[in-house]
Each structure stands twice: as C-alpha cells, then as structure tokens.
Amino acid sequence: AQTVTQSQPEMSVQEAETVTLSCTYDTSESDYYLFWYKQPPSRQMILVIRQEAYKQQNATENRFSVNFQKAAKSFSLKISDSQLGDAAMYFCAYRSASLRDDKIIFGKGTRLHILP
Amino acid sequence: SQTIHQWPATLVQPVGSPLSLECTVEGTSNPNLYWYRQAAGRGLQLLFYSVGIGQISSEVPQNLSASRPQDRQFILSSKKLLLSDSGFYLCAWRFPGTGHNEQFFGPGTRLTVL
C-alpha cells in the first residue's frame, strides 16, 4: 500500500524568507500524481501545486515550487518570499494514475508558522 | 465554474442521535465524490467515495454510511452517533476519468458529539 510521510510536524519561517517542507512517499507504481494542499485556519483545503510523475520538470506556481526526486521518492515544497497569509497546515498527497484506485492518500501535515 | 457546498457548517449532537450531512456540487456532471474526516490536529481519513449515482465505496468500517441519491449530491449519515464521530468532515469532488486528478474540497462541517 502507498504511504505518504511528512517528517516535520511544525516549521517556522521569517516573513519574506524561503522555507522548504519535506515529503516522502512509498509506492511500487511508476505512474502517479503528487499534490500539496494548504489548509489555513478556515480549514478550507486549497490545492497549491500538482506534479505528474511522468514529468521530469518540477512544477511551479508563482512563489511555490517543488523538488520532485522520483528515484528517491521525495516531493518537497519550497515557498519563496513567505507571506503572513502562507501560515497554514500543508498536506502532501499521492494519487495513483490507475482508474481502479480512486483515492488520494494524505500525509499527516506540516504546520507552517510565519514570523513577522 | 464549479462550486461545492456543505451544510451545516457546524453541528452539535448528543450521543446516540442520528446524523445527516449534505454535500452538493454545482457546475459539473458526474463528478467523483468523497467524504473525509479530520480529527483535531490530524490528517485526512477517507471515509467514502462514489463514482456515480448509487455507487458507494467504503474505506473504513464504522457506524457511518453514505448515499448518492442524485448525480451531484452526496450524503453522510449515521443512525446513532458515537463520541468518536466528533471531527471535521470534508466533502470533495473531482472530474471523472483520467487527466483530472486533483480533488476540490468543500468548506467542511464541524461536528461535535456530546
């Protein structure tokens, strides 16, 4: 079975600085998708970024980028120029590309604090 | 554009009472639908998912059930709530088929069982 591990329960970063959140996963499949979701205090889950496993290029969305290392099964999220609004719980997630497996597996999350 | 609604937003229920949480999606047809539970300070636990009307897959055996009476309506129910059912319940949807793999989440329902 696939698993997703986020080893950092909490992190803090100074406003305007850069922070990297770690995520590792375990799977025997070669085709899958990886996601980072953000859950602010409102608890609304918001998709931050998505990566297809067949793409070697790392995904980027404005100040958010990922470092996808397929062989190492690592998928870290880098937030540049951190802003107060980035304070949230961040979840790494995995989904198989197989239509027979219609589930997203979430890590336990990393709570990110932004220090003014 | 698509939107997803959940209600109620907050619910306080006594142990042993019934439960009905509703989720509806607008702006799309035949979405895949999901129910998650999030305990305080924890990750998301998938409870049920559905790929079509009347088609429900259960991930965790418990006293909860789900139904999909209409294409864009997903209901989470219980006949008798337990204290352990307290938590934050999230409904999510995604486009069916391949190529659309991210899920989009509703605002959630905070359930407290006393």
User: Hunting for tokens 């998505």 — which residue is that?
Assistant: A50
| CATH number attached to the domain at B3-113 | 2.60.40.10
- In this prediction, residue B100 carries a pLDDT of 62
Q: What is the pLDDT of residue A52?
A: 92
Spans of all domains in chain A? 3-115
Cis geometry, peptide bond prior to residue B107 (ω within 30 degrees of 0):
no
CB contact under 8 A, B46 and A104: yes
Give A53-98 pLDDT, tens digit per residue. Answer: 998 899 999 999 999 999 999 999 999 999 999 999 999 999 988 8
* Class of residue A81 by CB neighbours under 10 A (exposed 0-12, middle 13-18, buried 19+): exposed
Tell me, what DSSP letter sits at residue B71? T
Is the model's pLDDT at B98 over the cut of 70? no
Closest CA to B82 of B46, B40, B42, B111: B111
User: What is the percentage of chain B residues whose pLDDT exceeds 90?
Assistant: 76
Q: Does residue B23 contact residue B2 with C-beta atoms inside 8 Å?
A: no
Domain A3-115 homologous superfamily, CATH: Immunoglobulins (2.60.40.10)
pLDDT per position as a tens digit, B45-84: 899 999 999 999 988 867 899 999 999 999 999 999 999 9
Q: How far apart are CA B110 and CA B87, in angstroms?
A: 6
Arithmetic mean of pLDDT, B10-23: 97
Residue whose structure tokens are 């100040």: A63
**Chain A CB within 8 Å of residue B103 CB:** yes
Contact with chain A for residue B46, Cβ under 8 A: yes
Nearest to B108 among A35, A43, A46 (CB): A43
Instruction: List the single best residue of A10, A106, A108 to mutate versus B (max B Cβ within 10 A).
Output: A106
